[in-house]
Amino acid sequence: MDLTVSVLLGTFILSVLALFVFIASMAKGLFGSGGAAAVQIFDKGEVGAVEDPAATKAQRGELQQAMDPAHLDSRRNAFEVGTRLRADQSSSLVVGVCLTIAVVWLVLASLAGLVASIKLHAPDWWVDQAWLTFGRIRPIHLNLVAYGWCSMAGIGVALWLIPRLLKTELVGAKYALLGGALWTVGVTAGTVAIGLGHSDGLEWLEYPWTIDILLVVGGALVGFPMWLTLLRRKVAHLYVSVWYIAAGLLWFPILFLVANWPGLHFGVQQATMNWWYGHNVLGLWFTPLGLAAAYYFIPKVLGKPIYSYNLSLLGFWSLAFFYSQVGGHHLIGGPVPSWLITISIVQSMMMVVPVVAVAINQHFTVAGNFRALLYSPTLRFIVLGAMLYTAASVQGSLQALRSVNTVTHFTHYTVAHAHLGLYGFFSMVMFGSIYFIMPRVMKWEWPYPWMISAHFWLVLGGFAVYFIGLSFGGWYQGLAMLDKDIPFMDSVTLTIPYLQARSVGGSLMTLGHLVFAAHFFMMGWKFGPRRLGAALLAAPDAAPAAARPVPAKEAAKGATGGMAA
């Protein structure tokens, strides 16, 4: 056994051992009090009080009625409201900027995806311009969704959560603004470069490496305020979302730097590195940011702590232990040593541990309260996203098995799975989070609640058509490719109706994104009816007072004021 094999096997055994040590330490209570950490996201007496700034006044009433009618008239502690208002204010500029840029990328990325989709069943459409050919517009779409929409939305949501979770104003927001600016210049330059035909030629790593430097430096700068704020934090326990955000912000620049370092990897080694990165960017960057948001917003909207705090920590650590070696499952059947592939398949199955931990936790937090989904726009998107996280991951683990991958690899089935993960899970969670966050950032309610519903139903319907159509089409395509009696071209033509269905589904999704973007910018311009009930943490007259630091004596007396959000 050579050194590389021993090291890989060693790390695998170590991760399994680490999991057992972790479980044993948790059983002995070495991780502190789970219960105390779970209620950390609530202020004193706030458990039971619902919160969804995206809901209308009537919806909020119904939501509170459905969860805990005893809190219908509850008032918040002025000191706590003041702390939270200052935390929100400290991040609002940088968060507003990041989310605005993310929404612009979402629209452009969707249009690029739609063009790529149509080309797969109408290949002669729009072929005069080189940048519109499939070979360029497809990577433009992928990189815009990954580094434009998903990353910027994830960063914006993370930067908003950090001061709230640490009950401390965001320190060094200017570093994040600079980082976000570098990142945006990088995504713009990378998109133009791909359009002009300059690409590094590796999937997920197409931007020329000189441009990647902007994303590495930008990514590191964006994470900087989190470390500074952590140093000044006013809380004893770190809520599980902080673990996920800190890990994601630390992992991304390292992954991106190693993967893009020029002249380091060649041939098969380069392909292995490509997919080590390709899956780690999903599992160690997008997934932690998406789960951090779900772990905050689901309990917060419901006014109910998560079901098991210890289970959430088990989920985090087992993700950290097992995810980093799954990338090899993208190369099943490739010219890669089979032990490497086998380890990646075993790790892919081990991923069931964190996935089930998250699924149990989120299901039992919402269980019995599914009616709340009727009244909370935020919850509707995020609970759907959390469910689709479980679905994508279980599907992924099965897809990593050699027997299944033999059928699905090189087919549209993989593309359906890719959208289940990055769209069904991650993007849905981001939509819900943005609906919650923006009223707090802008101090203005979403002007037209019907547009939130239109967005939800358009993207849900569109995505269902996209996912179901392509999964069936891809599976039949795989079976046809494996059948020696079927000519190869038949395996291509049989997919055409499914590809057309994808264009229909994709058009609905794109329309949903246009509605979302229009609503987002209407809010940005404070267009539409003025309703401030839910957007403010405290009543308009109480807000300025609450925003002022409350003298310790007054706070000690338990002064109350402000109203439930």
Binding site for ligand HEM (CB under 6 A): 106, 110, 113-114, 116-117, 138, 141-142, 145, 149-150, 203, 278, 282, 286-287, 326, 329-330, 348, 351, 355, 389, 392-393, 396-397, 399-400, 405, 408-409, 414-415, 417-419, 421-423, 425-427, 502-503, 506, 509-510
CA within 13 Å, CB half, 234: 12
- Residue 6 Cβ vs ligand HEM, minimum distance, rounded to whole Å: 25
CB of 31 to ligand HEM, least distance (A): 24
DSSP-assigned letter for residue 560: B
Nearer to ligand HEM, 43 or 203 (CB): 203
Q: CA–CA separation, 165 vs 242, rounded Å? A: 7
Q: Pick between residue 34 and residue 278 the one whose CB is nearest to ligand HEM.
A: 278
**CA atoms of 407 and 25, how far apart (whole Å):** 42
Q: Which amino acid is at 60?
A: R
* Residue nearer to ligand HEM on the CB measure, 253 or 290: 290
DSSP code for 486: S
- The least distance separating ligand HEM from the CB of residue 48, rounded to whole angstroms, comes to 32
Closest CA to 361 of 401, 416, 310: 310
Nearer to ligand HEM, 37 or 144 (CB): 144
How many CB atoms lie under 10 A from the CB of residue 27?
10
Question: Closest distance between ligand HEM and the C-beta of residue 536, in Å?
Answer: 31
CB of 336 to ligand HEM, least distance (A): 13
Q: Which residue's CB is nearer to ligand HEM, number 351 or number 480?
A: 351
For ligand HEM, give the closer residue by CB, 71 or 330.
330
As a whole number of angstroms, the distance between CA 485 and CA 52 comes to 58
Residue spans of beta strands (DSSP E) within 176-222: none
- Residue 553 Cβ vs ligand HEM, minimum distance, rounded to whole Å: 50
Alpha carbon distance 305, 294 (integer Å):
12
Distance CA 304, CA 63 (A): 13
Q: Read off the tokens for 357.
A: 């931990």
CB of 409 to ligand HEM, least distance (A): 4
At closest approach, how far in Å is the CB of 38 from ligand HEM? 24
Taking the complex as a whole, the smallest distance from the CB of residue 32 to ligand HEM amounts, in Å, to: 28
Quote the CA–CA distance of 336 and 97 in Å, as a whole number. Answer: 44
Question: Shortest CA distance to 160 belongs to which of 231, 244, 99?
Answer: 99
The token pair at 497 is 């109706």
Q: Give the closest residue to 219 by CA, choosing from 182, 247, 265, 191.
A: 182
Tokens coding 271? 């392909």
Nearer to ligand HEM, 79 or 381 (CB): 381
Q: What's the rounded Cα separation, in Å, for the pair 106 and 513?
A: 7
Smallest distance from ligand HEM to CB 119, Å: 8
Which of 327, 439 has the CB closer to ligand HEM? 327
Per-residue H/E/C for 183-228: HHHHHHHHHHHHHCCCCCCCCCCCCCHHHHHHHHHHHHHHHHHHHH
What is the closest distance, in whole angstroms, from the C-beta atom of residue 415 to ligand HEM in the complex? 4
End-to-end C-alpha distance for the chain, whole angstroms: 62
Nearer to ligand HEM, 85 or 326 (CB): 326
d(CA 245, CA 346): 26
Question: What is the C-alpha separation between 375 and 52, in angstroms, rounded?
Answer: 9
> Residue 170 has what DSSP assignment?
P
- Amino acid at residue number 80: E
Nearer to ligand HEM, 410 or 448 (CB): 410
Q: Which is nearer to ligand HEM, 415 or 442 (CB)?
A: 415
Nearer to ligand HEM among residue 344 and residue 369 (C-beta): 344
Residue type, 487: P
CB-count exposure of residue 383 (10 Å: 0-12, 13-18, 19+): buried
Q: What are phi and psi of 215, to 5 degrees?
A: -75, -35
Q: 295: exposed, middle or buried (C-beta count within 10 Å: 0-12, 13-18, 19+)? A: buried
Q: How far is the CB of 394 from ligand HEM (least distance, A)?
A: 7
- Tell the smallest beta-carbon distance from residue 192 to ligand HEM (Å): 20
Identify which of 19, 1, 2, 10 has the alpha carbon closest to the alpha carbon of residue 322.
Answer: 19
Q: Give whichever of 138 and 300 is closer to ligand HEM, judged by the CB atom.
A: 138
